[in-house]
Amino acid sequence: MRTPLIAGNWKMHLSLAEARALAAAVAGVAAACPDREVMIAPPYTALAAVREVAGERLILAGQNVCWEEKGAFTGEISPLMLRELGCRMVIVGHSERRHIFHEDNRMINRRLRGALRQGLIPILCIGETLAERDSAKTMEVLDQQVREGLDQVSLSDPARLVIAYEPVWAIGTGKTAGTDQAQEAHVFVRRLLAALYEKNIAAGIRILYGGSVNPANVDELMAQADIDGALVGGASLSAESFERVIRFA
């Protein structure tokens, strides 16, 4: 009942020409894999170009979003602007936003609610640092990120929200959480969701795993019962490796 979602986060990479070519290739793969959803989050400046080649099945997403529709918010992007460029989803609370740009749970919650208000599906990223894991604080951190991130968020359709569990120590490092470790965190997050929402809603929300997902580890990760997809950075930047991730067994 949870359609797998493979999401590529391009971060601050690729020229316009490279973005267009990669999106065209990914759109072809998405069209050939009707049983799974495929999303990419290009840099904002590439969205218009990518949209021209994205076709019907490739979902476009923003990498972040402001809670306001318009106004004096230098450097921010409005949910309406993302919608206008064809985005259906948006990443919020990515660990790079949290740790490099100091976005806290309260701000991330405002972004998430702003996205929902305008009909964008937010992907709420959560995850512990290595220091937090080493001091046995993982579950505490996830609990706080989920509760505060979803503060005042009501949900009548589980497809309107996606969670991405991304242990910070696994992002861009080549280290992946063990499949048991990942599955354990996903089960914990799903229990948190069950405390916040009705049973059938909590059971229907997709929880992606992220952090060095690649062609070599995607099959094993996707075989876990509560891993419903992947948020992929590095391996989403080449058509070949992202295709293999999308075509997980």
Residue type, 146: V
Under the criterion CB under 6 A, does residue 210 sit at the interface with ligand PGA? yes
Q: Are strands 229-232 and 5-9 parallel, antiparallel or unpaired?
A: parallel
- Residues identified as active-site: 94, 166
Under the criterion CB under 6 A, does residue 54 sit at the interface with ligand PGA? no
Nearest C-alpha neighbor of 164 from the set 89, 70, 102: 89
Instruction: For ligand PGA, give the closer residue by CB, 149 or 233.
Output: 233
Residues 8-47 interacting with ligand PGA (rule: CB under 6 A)? 9
Residue type, 126: I
Under the criterion CB under 6 A, does residue 89 sit at the interface with ligand PGA? no
Least distance (Å) from ligand PGA to the CB of residue 152? 26
Instruction: For ligand PGA, give the closer residue by CB, 166 or 243.
Output: 166
- Helices marked H in the chain — which ranges? 16-32, 47-54, 79-84, 95-99, 105-117, 130-134, 138-149, 179-196, 199-204, 218-222, 239-246
Stretch that binds ligand PGA, among 19-27, 177-185, 186-194, 208-216 (CB under 6 A): 208-216
Instruction: By CB under 6 A, name the one of 193, 232, 245, 246 that touches ligand PGA.
Output: 232
Residues 118/87, Cβ–Cβ less than 8 Å: no
Instruction: For ligand PGA, give the closer residue by CB, 112 or 202.
Output: 112
Under the criterion CB under 6 A, does residue 211 sit at the interface with ligand PGA? yes
Q: Tokens for 112?
A: 């998430």
